[in-house]
């Protein structure tokens, strides 16, 4: 830990997620007497309850379940000798050793794979809830304060949105961003870039995903007041504007001035490039030099090389997303198409936008900051850029610069 105009959202395209699957594992261990758990399957027409009772009396089978509908039979714990004798009963079809199953509910989103967070030693993604010790502010529509897959710092929540009553998310966008940054690695739902990072919900946008510069400045002000606790702030939002190269002091841009002061206080800001297929120099905060601006990659399988079929929207695998802003202000590119993450109401959804690319980088910045607590924002930015790769196809990029693709494998 280190002591250290209207804004519009950029998320599009919702799809439903599937159900958890079950996978078989090793059978339960045998007891000291050699007894173990088995499933006895009877022939059609056999009376399950009657046979189970007989076997319990005659062979000391400890019956746990009796099956009458999906199949005829029962489950029980018994000795190897009992198994042998029961198998010879003319009413028995077969005896099967019991096995263990677990819910394979947690998925690793394609963006987490492509950014190599799944092999990051700091992220430590292994299905165990071992949380990254880092704090990240989500300046957005708020965050689902009760989402079971997020480590939300409710004491660090604030509402700056016009008409809002709390930092709870009434839109879904902020919760999605938060999940990409830090969904908990607990075997459920999804996993984020920096699993279990403490999320500070800073609500500056309303339930429609709209807000004001004044509300955003309120959020930045809150983050700056807690700069001794918050390492990284994500802003997946944007409005029209430019960078005067003077922290807003020449063109009277209060948001720019606020960000410059917050960065000077030690907070690393990661922002979305925007979804207008335009030069990001025309959009703020993307145009500001003091932030890390992120464009979106279309990646449908989490792997380089291209060729994967499109999933939730039309685009070409492993290329510059067809909606993403571009230009010299872009510092990194990260996956931003059909990204699966947490959603309001304790749910999950897949959406697209540079809003989804930015939190991948914010999560990467969090991983670096967790191991380098004294690093300032410029050092974090350089580390992310130096670690990035060029292993993607920029044939349809609108500028001549091939941005570095986020890679946190060494963080």
| pLDDT reading at 324 higher than 80 | yes
pLDDT at res. 2: 38
pLDDT band at 19 (very low <50, low <70, confident <90, very high): very low
| pLDDT reading at 104 higher than 80 | no
Q: State the average pLDDT over residues 53-74.
A: 91
pLDDT at res. 263: 97
Whole-number Å distance between alpha carbons of 134 and 130: 12
**How much of the chain is helix, strand and coil, in % rounded to 5?**
25, 25, 50
Whole-number Å distance between alpha carbons of 31 and 345: 44
Of 23-32, 34-43, 376-385, the poorest mean pLDDT is in 23-32
| pLDDT reading at 41 higher than 70 | yes
The catalytic site residues sit at 140, 173, 355
pLDDT at res. 26: 35
User: What H or E segment, with its residue span, contains residue 264?
Assistant: helix 254-264
Whole-number Å distance between alpha carbons of 378 and 264: 10
| pLDDT reading at 158 higher than 90 | yes
Could you tell me the domains of the chain? 6-20+104-405 (3.40.50.200), 26-99 (3.30.70.80)
pLDDT band at 1 (very low <50, low <70, confident <90, very high): very low
Whole-number Å distance between alpha carbons of 356 and 339: 7
State the CB neighbour count (10 A cutoff) for residue 357. Answer: 32
pLDDT band at 32 (very low <50, low <70, confident <90, very high): low
Whole-number Å distance between alpha carbons of 62 and 291: 65
342-353 pLDDT, tens digit each: 999 999 999 999
| pLDDT reading at 401 higher than 70 | yes
Burial class (CB in 10 A: 0-12, 13-18, 19+), 306: middle
Contact 213, 249 (CB under 8 A): no
Q: State the average pLDDT over residues 333-348.
A: 96
199-215 pLDDT, tens digit each: 999 999 999 999 988 88
Between 8 and 21, the higher pLDDT residue = 8
Instruction: Report the chain's mean pLDDT, rounded to a whole number.
Output: 89
258-298 pLDDT, tens digit each: 899 999 999 999 999 999 999 999 999 999 999 999 999 99
State the CB neighbour count (10 A cutoff) for residue 274. Answer: 34
pLDDT band at 394 (very low <50, low <70, confident <90, very high): confident
């Amino acid at each position: 830990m280190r002591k250290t105009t209207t804004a519009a959202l950029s998320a599009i395209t919702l799809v439903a997620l599937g159900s958890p699957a079950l996978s078989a594992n090793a059978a339960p261990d045998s007891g000291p007497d050699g007894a173990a758990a088995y499933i006895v399957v009877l022939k059609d027409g056999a009376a399950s309850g009657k046979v189970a009772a007989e076997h319990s009396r005659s062979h000391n089978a400890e019956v746990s379940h009796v099956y009458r509908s999906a199949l005829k039979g029962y489950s029980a714990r018994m000795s190897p000798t009992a198994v042998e004798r029961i198998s010879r009963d003319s009413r028995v079809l077969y005896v099967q050793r019991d096995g263990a199953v677990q819910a394979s509910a947690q998925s690793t989103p394609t963006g987490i794979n492509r950014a190599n967070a799944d092999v990051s030693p700091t992220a430590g993604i292994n299905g165990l809830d071992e949380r990254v010790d880092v704090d990240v502010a989500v300046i957005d529509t708020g965050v689902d304060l009760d989402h079971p897959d997020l480590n939300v710092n409710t004491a660090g929540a604030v509402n700056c949105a016009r008409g809002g009553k709390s930092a709870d998310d009434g839109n879904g966008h902020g919760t999605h961003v938060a999940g990409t940054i830090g969904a908990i690695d607990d075997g459920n739902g999804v996993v984020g870039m920096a699993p279990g990072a403490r999320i500070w919900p800073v609500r500056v946008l309303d339930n429609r995903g709209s807000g004001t510069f004044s509300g955003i400045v309120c959020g930045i002000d809150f983050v700056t007041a807690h700069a001794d606790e918050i390492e990284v702030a994500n802003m997946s939002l944007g409005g029209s504007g430019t960078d005067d190269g003077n922290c807003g002091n020449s063109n009277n841009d209060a948001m720019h001035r606020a960000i410059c002061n917050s960065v000077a206080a030690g907070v690393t800001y990661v922002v979305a490039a925007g979804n207008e297929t335009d030069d990001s120099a025309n959009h703020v905060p993307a145009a500001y030099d003091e932030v890390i601006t992120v464009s979106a990659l279309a990646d449908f399988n989490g792997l380089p090389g291209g060729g994967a079929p499109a999933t939730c929207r039309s685009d070409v695998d492993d290329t510059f997303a067809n909606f993403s802003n571009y230009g010299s202000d872009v510092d990194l590119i990260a996956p931003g198409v059909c990204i699966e993450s947490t959603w309001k109401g304790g749910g999950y959804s897949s959406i697209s936008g540079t809003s989804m690319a930015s939190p991948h980088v914010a999560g990467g910045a969090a991983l670096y900051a967790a191991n380098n607590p004294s690093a300032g924002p410029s050092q974090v930015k350089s580390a992310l850029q130096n670690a990035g790769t060029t292993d993607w196809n920029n044939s349809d990029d609108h500028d001549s610069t091939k941005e570095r693709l986020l890679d946190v494998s060494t963080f």
